[in-house]
Amino acid sequence: MQNTPVTSLVGAEYEVEVGPVAHGGHCIARTDAGRVLFVRHALPGERVVARVTEGEETSRFLRADAVTILDPSKDRVEAPCPFAGPGRCGGCDWQHAKPGAQRRLKGEVLAEQLQRLAGLTPEEAGWDGTVMPAEGDKLPAGEVPKWRTRVQYAVDAEGHAGLRKHRSHEVEVVDHCMIAAEGVSELGIEKRDWEGMAAVEAIAASGSHDRQVILTPRPGARLPLVELDKPVSVMRVEEKDGGVHRVHGRAFVRERADERTYRVGSGGFWQVHPKAAQTLMLAVMQGLTPRKGETALDLYCGVGLFAGALADRVGDQGAVLGIESGKRAVEDARHNLAGFPRVRIEQGKVEAVLPRTGITEVDLIVLDPPRAGAGKQTVHHLAGLGARRIAYVACDPAALARDMAYFAERGYKVRTLRAFDLFPMTHHVECVAILEPAEKGR
């Protein structure tokens, strides 16, 4: 029996009316025959020619780029970045949209996910429907916030640094990245030859003048002598174990939040936007209103940002337990919070460590899970601890909405929700949801 060959539709073009924005940095459109397209570089309400980039005759949907704009939206602008556009750098999703429109689009995605996955309207979620820009990110037309303090450059076969194209391993060679923080740009990564390297990550701490590059060599390649435009420490990713090891300089950078310095080693998590850590910490603390003597959990705690803020506020009579899976991050968290005798940091996955602690009740919980969310098992466990308030920090609206539904199953409702545009020009949005037992009322 012969298999019927599947016809690829890559390169096919359709003239379509662009529909609503969807989660993932694209909009929904349909061909005259009813086929669904996920269209990048388009805006709702536009009429465009969409060229298929992925998909076959049998695909449930096709991915496409808007290559010709027949009827532009009033929210459309010319992309400030020369490397943005169909088939180019995949780092930014909304270079072609006004900043205010970008935030509206993110708000629409968040509202749709909350309704579809959690059955919540904005009002029911205690959300005013806005996505707030970070302090200092409202700029004149044509200017782009330089917010990205960590940039992962890919290196092509000739040793040129660049950024990946959308859903591709291909490298778009760049001479600068417009959203890179000044501390990253001043290193001059794009100007030098990186022969033998597969990737170069540049980190510019916003809480200090610390600069670091992390090199990932290709198999068998030797490490180059790193001479950049500013002093920098150098780390390398080992081929055998994938571990990150110091070559010279500090093995960490120093960040600041809540009037405290945090050591963040390679592989340790810190928010990328320079204002993000402080913004999210304040949103969490304002939502939880910690009291002296309370007990708290900080789950997926990273290097201890929220644990430190909680410890400060619950005082010597309170207690904080942080749980984090990354070994280096746990080392950093223990170092950063060594001045708080009532703080304990445990290493391991939350779903494995939390049941072993024997904790049966707690006053406050903060969780900042990875993009996939915490999941039903963990959420149900947390809801059984009787916390008076829970702060959920989310970088993915779909995961947030799914977990909100799981909390609702166990008697917790959303008290307030705030959304922050901490990833300008991209489709990502950061949220802080504050939950409380449903019987308490608002």
The CA distance from 280 to 37, in Å, is: 35
The CA distance from 12 to 49, in Å, is: 10
Pairing between β-strand 197-204 and β-strand 150-155 as defined by DSSP bridges: antiparallel
- 92 is an active site residue: no
The CA distance from 253 to 263, in Å, is: 6
Tokens of 185: 């740009």
Contact 342, 318 (CB under 8 A): yes
**Amino acid letter, residue 441:** G
Q: Which of 27, 301, 395, 431 is catalytic?
A: 395
The CA distance from 296 to 259, in Å, is: 20
The CA distance from 87 to 317, in Å, is: 57
Contact 295, 363 (CB under 8 A): yes
What letter does residue 114 receive in the DSSP assignment?
A: I
**Amino acid letter, residue 232:** V
Of the candidates 86, 73, 80, the residue with the CA atom closest to the CA atom of residue 20: 73
**Active site positions, annotated:** 395
